[in-house]
Every structure is written in structure tokens, then in C-alpha cells.
Amino acid sequence: MRLTRADIVGIAVLGATALVGLVFLPSLPDQFAIHFGMDGADSFVSTPVGLFLLPAIGIVTIVLLRSVSEMKETGGVSGSYGFALALFLAYVQGVVLAWNLGFGVDVSLFVLPATAVFVAVSFAAKTW
């Protein structure tokens, strides 16, 4: 498996996201909200898990996408898709981090439109 330059930059973005979380670790509560429903946060994990879970999932996903794209039976995955995914996940992690730091962030208001844009761009890039 050979990672593209965009994949490597995406992995670096996700690593930086985790490092930013570490900077704020002393200011975070013991339980880190990771899921939000209509009534606000409804799922929590320990703060270290919350800081590293999404970046780790993103890094593993980029590596798996690149591995799958090298299989002959697939049409491949765009070289820049991992980078786009990393930017989206870093944005989501930033919003969730802001909520956990006590900023009055409406997570749905910030994440749902970004999700729609990410999905639309993903489908548009597939048809180009």
C-alpha cells in the first residue's frame, strides 16, 4: 500500500487535531461527549478516549481506503479523498471539543450542514 501525499497530509491534520485536544486536556471535564441527540449530549466516554477516538478512526479509514483502492477489482478512491475526509473529521472534532470546553456550541447546527456539504462533494467528485 502506498499512501498519496494528500493521504499523508490528511493523517497529519488528524494527528494535529489530537494534539490540539491534548493542549486543552486540563480544561476538559472527566467525561467527553461524543454523540449528540435532539436534547443535547447523550453519549460520553473518558476524556482521553474522546480526544483520540475520532482522529484514530479517521487515520484507520484513510489507510483502509488506500488499501482498497489498490485492489484491482475496485475503481479506486480519489487520491485527495483521504485529505477531504480528514478535514471534515477535524472540523467535527473541533466542534465537539468546543462543546466539551463549555462553549455554547449547537453541535447539530455546525455539524449537519458540514456533513451535507461533505457528502455532496464526495458524490460530485465521484462523477467528475
pLDDT, mean over the chain: 90
Say how many domains are in the chain.
1
pTM: 0.90
| 51-105: pLDDT as tens digits | 999 999 999 999 998 888 777 565 667 778 889 999 999 999 999 999 999 999 9
How far, rounded to the nearest angstrom, does the alpha carbon of residue 43 sit from its chain's CA centroid? 17
Q: Which domain holds residue 13?
A: 5-127
